[in-house]
């Protein structure tokens, strides 16, 4: 069954533990870094994402597509058991977003042969500046929990 913390239809903001949302650094259709940024007002497509379940609308495994069409949350190189930058590109990783912490927050995990990697926000002392977003070994850190906010709710 699908986790109730992940919006089942439409675009959403994916917010980290410091209030930054996932954002494509630019919208040039190549390999783009995904960073954490404060939510823009008005909202922009670079900060909106949609969950695309693989096996029907109630599946917890699938892709995450950005509001910039045909750009998916991905990685430039195959994830290894080490830190690697999250990117947006035309090919997607397969994610498991079935682990909820509460009704609006959960984990975004990549299954790897060697380890389970979690999408991870980096801490910042300057909330107005961008922060790195990487895939790290899952350690149950607050920086690995993401809140899913339907874009039409703002």
Statement: 12-150 belongs to CATH 2.80.10.50: yes
The ranges assigned to domains in the chain are 12-150
Residue 57 has pLDDT above 90, yes or no: no
Between these two residues, 148 and 58, which has the higher pLDDT value?
148
Burial class (CB in 10 A: 0-12, 13-18, 19+), 143: buried
- Looking up tokens 């994402």 gives 49
Residue 92 has pLDDT above 90, yes or no: no
Residue range 36-53, pLDDT digits in tens: 999 999 999 999 999 888
Instruction: Say if CB 33 and CB 73 are below 8 A apart.
Output: no
The pLDDT, as a whole number, for residue 25 is: 85
What confidence tier does 20 reach under pLDDT thresholds 50, 70, 90?
Answer: very high
Residue 1 has pLDDT above 50, yes or no: no
Instruction: Say if CB 144 and CB 107 are below 8 A apart.
Output: yes
The pLDDT, as a whole number, for residue 127 is: 87
For residue 81, the 8-state DSSP code is S
pTM metric for this prediction: 0.89
Residue 78 has pLDDT above 90, yes or no: no
Average pLDDT rounded to a whole number, residues 17-29: 84
Residue 141 has pLDDT above 90, yes or no: yes
- Between the alpha carbon of residue 154 and those of residues 48, 100, 105, 143, 148, the distances in Å are 12, 22, 17, 23, 12
């Amino acid at each position: 069954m699908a986790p109730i913390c992940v919006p089942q239809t439409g675009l959403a903001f994916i917010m980290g533990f410091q209030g930054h949302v996932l954002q494509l650094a630019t919208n040039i259709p190549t390999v783009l870094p995904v960073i954490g940024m404060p939510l823009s007002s008005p909202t922009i497509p670079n900060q909106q994402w949609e969950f695309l379940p693989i096996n029907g609308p109630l599946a917890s495994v699938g892709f995450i597509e950005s509001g910039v069409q045909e750009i998916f949350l991905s990685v430039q190189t195959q994830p290894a058991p080490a830190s690697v930058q999250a990117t947006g590109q035309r090919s997607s990783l397969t994610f498991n977003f079935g682990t909820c912490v509460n009704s609006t927050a959960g984990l975004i995990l990549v299954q790897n042969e060697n380890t389970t990697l979690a999408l991870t926000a980096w801490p910042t002392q300057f909330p107005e500046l961008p922060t790195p977003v990487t895939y790290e070994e899952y350690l149950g850190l607050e920086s690995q929990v993401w809140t899913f906010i339907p874009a039409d709710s703002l």
